[in-house]
């Protein structure tokens, strides 16, 4: 009676052990297959779906990347160019690619053709002077593009503009900071219907003419540390019609004169779009330097044009007086150096005048005395 249940228990335990053993063998086989199919490239570190080949002086993309890689870090190398052969094998799971600090100069067409799921591309701190608009496939999924401090100089912004207008329709985050940009091509961002964040920090932008709701759909616009001196009334009106905008403007050299009065009043009325309005300060004139725009008195925002003209006129008058004084000194010096000749000339004039006056006086006496007149006639006869 007791042997039956005990036998059943032993059978169940043996079946459980066999099941656990089979699961362990299956797991080991899967791990072995996974490890054999995903060898890690030389000079790289691999774990799960991430591969790091950082600061290894690589001159090209490693050719034996695991097929399941999702995050690829290639920062701090010497990969100066990306071509269609840089990723010869399709990496269907790669989403994040970091190529910062490679002194990269050129990105050719179809460079990312075998990366269909690429979502984030970091090309910051490079020296790009060519970026083909066909570098991404037509149906790409790129959403986050960082080109901070990546242009060789500001004149190559046209290359990026062509790229943005044709091949990045899904872009949500764009970083163009630290590129010394002072202008942005017209309609550069008009095709980015899903753009949320545009970072333009630390450039030399002087106007928002191409950053309006008509040409830009971003919700966060970072313009800190540029060269903005004032915002025109038309720009203020357009910003007021930009729902949900978060605008950062600190670090710009605001000129606090009468032309900034409307902007100051606009900021004080709310201007919820400017999230860092508490940090906006004057750069000019000197008497208002570092003054907070929200605290400066409107009466202090004086036009400097008339004052500048007055100072210019005063300077001109001083200069004219100095020139006239110099001419006078030179004239006196000439007189002094020629004093003897001038004295002799004056004496000659005096003698001539004296002779003339004596002749005139003699004729007057002759004409006034009849006897002298007759004597004069007789002597003539």
Instruction: Decide: pTM greater than 0.75.
Output: no
Domain ranges of the chain: 316-380
Which tokens go with 84? Answer: 């269609």
Q: Residue 2: its pLDDT value, please?
A: 46
Q: Residue 271: its pLDDT value, please?
A: 79
Is the CB of residue 282 less than 8 Å from the CB of residue 254?
yes
Q: Residue 7: its pLDDT value, please?
A: 52
pLDDT per residue as tens digits for the range 271-317: 788 999 999 999 999 999 999 999 999 888 888 655 555 666 678 88
Is the CB of residue 132 less than 8 Å from the CB of residue 107?
yes
Output 18-24 pairs: Cβ under 8 A, ≥24 positions apart.
none
The answer, yes or no, to whether residue 228 has pLDDT greater than 60, is yes
* Residue 38 pLDDT grade (very low, low, confident, very high; cuts 50, 70, 90): low
The answer, yes or no, to whether residue 363 has pLDDT greater than 80, is no
* Beta-ladder partners of 222: 199, 248
* Beta-ladder partners of 46: 51
The answer, yes or no, to whether residue 372 has pLDDT greater than 70, is no
The answer, yes or no, to whether residue 166 has pLDDT greater than 60, is yes
The answer, yes or no, to whether residue 85 has pLDDT greater than 80, is yes
- Angle, helix 370-380 to helix 339-368, in steps of 10 degrees: 100
Query: Which of 66, 106, 119, 72 is CA-nearest to residue 89?
Result: 66
* Residue 348 pLDDT grade (very low, low, confident, very high; cuts 50, 70, 90): confident
The answer, yes or no, to whether residue 253 has pLDDT greater than 90, is yes
**Least confident segment among 130-139, 193-202, 319-328:** 319-328
Q: Residue 377: its pLDDT value, please?
A: 47
Is the CB of residue 37 less than 8 Å from the CB of residue 67?
yes
- Identify the DSSP state of 144: E
Peptide bond just before 339 cis, omega within 30 deg: no
Question: Between the ranges 1-5, 49-53, 237-241, where is the mean pLDDT highest?
Answer: 49-53
Q: Residue 356: its pLDDT value, please?
A: 74
Rounded Cα–Cα distance for residues 41 and 51 (Å):
9
Instruction: Give me the sign of the Cα torsion angle 140, 142, 143, 148.
Output: negative
The answer, yes or no, to whether residue 95 has pLDDT greater than 70, is yes
Peptide bond just before 285 cis, omega within 30 deg: yes
* Beta-ladder partners of 352: none
Residues across the chain: 381
Q: Residue 334: its pLDDT value, please?
A: 82
**Least confident segment among 73-87, 114-128, 209-223, 360-374:** 360-374
The answer, yes or no, to whether residue 58 has pLDDT greater than 90, is yes
In this predicted model, which residue has the larger pLDDT, 75 or 368?
75
In Å, what is the CA distance from 93 to each residue of 126, 228, 251?
26, 43, 41
Is the CB of residue 180 less than 8 Å from the CB of residue 154?
yes
Which residues are CB-neighbours of 55 under 8 A, at least 6 positions away? 75, 76, 77
Q: Residue 376: its pLDDT value, please?
A: 52
* Residue 124 pLDDT grade (very low, low, confident, very high; cuts 50, 70, 90): very high
In this predicted model, which residue has the larger pLDDT, 39 or 250?
250
Rounded Cα–Cα distance for residues 32 and 48 (Å):
14
């Amino acid at each position: 009676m007791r042997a039956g249940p005990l036998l059943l228990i032993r059978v169940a335990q043996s079946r459980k052990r066999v099941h656990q053993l089979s699961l362990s063998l299956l797991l080991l086989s899967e791990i072995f297959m996974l490890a054999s199919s995903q060898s890690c490239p030389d000079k790289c570190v691999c774990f799960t779906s991430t591969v790091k080949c950082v600061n290894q002086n690589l001159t090209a993309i490693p050719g034996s990347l695991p097929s399941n890689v999702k995050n690829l870090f290639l920062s701090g190398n010497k990969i100066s160019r990306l071509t269609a052969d840089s990723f010869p094998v399709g990496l269907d799971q790669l989403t994040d690619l970091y190529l910062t600090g490679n002194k990269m100069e050129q990105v050719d067409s179809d460079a990312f053709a075998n990366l269909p799921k690429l979502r984030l591309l970091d090309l910051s701190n490079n020296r790009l002077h060519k970026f083909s608009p066909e570098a991404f496939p037509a149906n790409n999924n790129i959403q986050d593009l960082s080109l901070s401090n990546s242009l060789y100089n500001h004149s190559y912004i046209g290359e990026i503009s062509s790229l943005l207008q044709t091949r990045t329709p899904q872009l949500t985050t764009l970083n163009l900071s630290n590129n010394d940009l002072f202008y942005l091509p017209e309609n550069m961002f008009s095709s980015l219907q899903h753009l949320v964040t545009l970072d333009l920090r630390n450039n030399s932008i002087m106007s928002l003419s191409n950053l309006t709701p008509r040409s830009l759909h971003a919700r966060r616009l970072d313009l800190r540390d540029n060269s903005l001196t004032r915002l025109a009334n038309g720009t203020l009106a357009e910003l007021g019609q930009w729902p949900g905008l978060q605008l950062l403007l600190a670090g710009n050299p605001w000129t606090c004169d009468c032309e900034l009065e409307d902007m100051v009043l606009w900021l004080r009325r709310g201007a919820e779009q400017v999230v860092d309005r508490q940090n906006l300060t004057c750069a000019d004139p000197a008497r208002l330097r570092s003054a907070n725009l929200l605290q400066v008195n409107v009466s202090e925002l004086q036009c400097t044009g008339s004052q500048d003209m007055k100072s210019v006129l005063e300077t001109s008058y001083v200069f004219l007086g100095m020139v006239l004084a110099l001419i006078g000194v030179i004239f006196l010096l000439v007189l002094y150096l020629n004093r003897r000749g001038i004295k002799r000339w004056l004496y000659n004039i005096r003698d001539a005048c004296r002779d003339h006056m004596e002749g005139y006086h003699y004729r007057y006496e002759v004409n006034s005395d009849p006897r002298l007149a007759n004597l004069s006639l007789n002597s003539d006869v």
